[in-house]
């Protein structure tokens, strides 16, 4: 197994790449960032923005938002810094938290037009259940409408510019996938989770093509209309998880209060505040690949030089993959399965990163990290 020598990301993440010195793609991007001529990027962005303003559309740009730290930053930046007339599009997740609702209301109250899209909850439940049993990644299905709704609205309203936040190809270093590392967000359908398409959902009982209208967008139609899509992260020097949270808090964004890392599997309070079942999905990721949300967050903090390696490893060993039973109950209730069925299913997906010793499952990644921290 390979662990990045700069952050502590393992090579068990699907699509991640490493160079010969065992530095992961996300850390390579961090180095790349230092060499970027940001003044030049700003000029590139100005051209994109000016083109958008020249169109006859009512809105200059459309932005997909959840009300979270990244989308608040995107919307405020697009309006106040770039002077764009924005239409916000919100895909409303199932089981949205009270805090998620509050943050979305806060974003609207900052002065934006917003369209909210919520695909049929009965269909959402079926596809979520399908993804749990088939991939042990039940948020996969929701990522289709999360992305596509913004693109569909751009097409319907003939809005010349789509602004997305960060390109996962850059942030988590998975640019082995078709999405690439450039600014072009029209390629979002090639993201790791979306590239398989939606065809398989049509095999679920009573799910039809029409039910999945908000699950996919037509790139060709957008190209024909001259619509451009950008990852705004590509153009902004100041773009980081913690930085965006600090920025958005000044505009009323609220993070989780009094978090218990042993219940939610991370020490970070400002991530995915609109969902509680996200903790469950991260725990499932931990079963498959040996790392969860805490790993992602310490890696962000290592790259931003907000944490040292030892602290990062300690946090991962302590909290990664943890998820309180109350969230698991909530999820099981939602897809209407028993806890017994839940645990039986996740056991089937336990990845190669685990081995059994005296009846106990040992995580090889943790073993290796523990060795490293003991030798420090
Ligand atoms: Zn790394």
> Digits of tens for pLDDT over the chain (376 positions)?
899 999 999 999 888 889 999 999 889 988 888 899 999 999 999 999 999 999 989 999 999 999 999 999 999 999 999 999 999 999 998 889 999 999 999 999 999 999 999 999 999 999 999 999 999 999 999 999 999 999 999 999 999 999 999 887 777 666 556 667 788 999 888 876 777 889 999 999 999 999 999 999 999 999 999 999 999 999 999 999 999 999 999 999 999 999 999 999 999 999 999 999 999 999 999 999 999 999 999 999 999 999 999 999 999 999 999 999 999 999 999 999 999 999 999 999 999 999 999 999 999 999 999 999 998 7
DSSP codes, 94-111:
TTB-HHHHHHHHHHHHTT
Ligand 1 centroid from CA 307, angstroms: 14
Strand partners of residue 163: 63, 230
C-alpha of residue 364 to centroid of ligand 1, in Å: 18
- Report CA(17)–ligand 1 centroid distance (Å): 10
Q: Tokens 């109950």: give the residue.
A: 329
Which residue stretches of 157-292 are H helix? 168-171, 219-224, 241-249, 261-264, 278-289
173 burial type by CB count under 10 A (0-12 exposed, 13-18 middle, 19+ buried): buried
b/e map of 305-330 (b: 16 or more CB within 10 Å)?
eebebeebbebbbebbbbbbeebbee
The pocket of ion ligand 1, defined by CB under 5 A, consists of 4, 6-7, 9, 24, 27
Compute, in angstroms, the gap from residue 4 CA to the centroid of ligand 1.
5
How close is the Cα of 322 to the center of ligand 1, in Å? Answer: 22
Kindly give the distance from the C-alpha atom of residue 2 to the centroid of ligand 1, in angstroms, as a whole number: 11
Yes or no: say if 279 and 264 are a contact pair by the CB < 8 Å rule: yes
Expressed in angstroms and rounded, the spacing between residue 259 Cα and the centre of ligand 1 is: 27
How many whole angstroms from 160 Cα to the centroid of ligand 1?
36
The C-alpha atoms of residue 235 and residue 41 are separated, in whole angstroms, by 5
């Amino acid at each position: 197994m390979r662990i990045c020598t700069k952050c502590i990301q393992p090579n068990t993440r699907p699509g991640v790449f490493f160079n010969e010195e065992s530095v992961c793609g996300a850390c390579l991007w961090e180095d790349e960032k230092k060499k970027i001529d940001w003044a030049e990027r700003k000029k590139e962005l100005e051209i994109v923005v000016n083109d958008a303003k020249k169109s006859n559309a009512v809105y200059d740009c459309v932005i997909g938002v959840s009300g979270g730290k990244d989308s608040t930053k995107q919307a405020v930046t697009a309006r106040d810094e770039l002077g764009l007339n924005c239409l916000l599009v919100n895909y409303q997740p199932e089981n949205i938290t009270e805090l998620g609702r509050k943050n979305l209301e806060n974003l609207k109250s900052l002065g934006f037009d917003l369209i909210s899209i919520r695909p049929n909850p009965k269909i959402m439940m079926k596809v979520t259940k399908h993804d749990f049993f088939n991939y042990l990644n039940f948020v996969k299905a929701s990522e289709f409408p999360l992305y596509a709704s913004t693109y569909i609205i751009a097409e319907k309203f003939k809005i010349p510019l789509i602004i997305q936040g960060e390109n996962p190809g850059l942030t988590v270093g998975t640019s082995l996938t078709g999405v690439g590392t450039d600014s072009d967000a029209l390629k979002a359908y090639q993201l790791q989770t979306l590239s398989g398409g939606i065809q398989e959902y049509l095999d679920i009982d009573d799910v039809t093509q029409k039910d999945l209208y908000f699950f996919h967008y037509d790139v060709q139609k957008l190209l024909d209309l001259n619509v451009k899509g950008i990852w705004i992260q590509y153009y902004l020097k100041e773009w980081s998880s913690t930085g965006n949270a600090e920025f958005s808090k000044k505009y009323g964004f609220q993070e989780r209060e009094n978090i218990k890392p042993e219940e939610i599997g991370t020490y970070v309070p400002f991530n995915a505040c609109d969902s509680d079942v996200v903790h469950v999905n991260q725990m499932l990721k931990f079963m498959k690949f040996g790392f969860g949300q805490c790993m992602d967050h310490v890696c962000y903090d290592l790259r931003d030089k907000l944490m040292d390696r030892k602290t990062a490893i300690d946090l991962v060993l302590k909290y990664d993959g943890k998820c309180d039973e109350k969230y698991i109950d909530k999820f099981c209730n939602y897809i209407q399965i028993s806890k017994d069925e839940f645990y039986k299913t996740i056991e089937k997906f336990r990845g190669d990163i685990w081995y059994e010793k005296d009846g106990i499952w040992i995580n090889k990644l943790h073993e290796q990290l523990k060795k490293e921290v003991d030798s420090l």
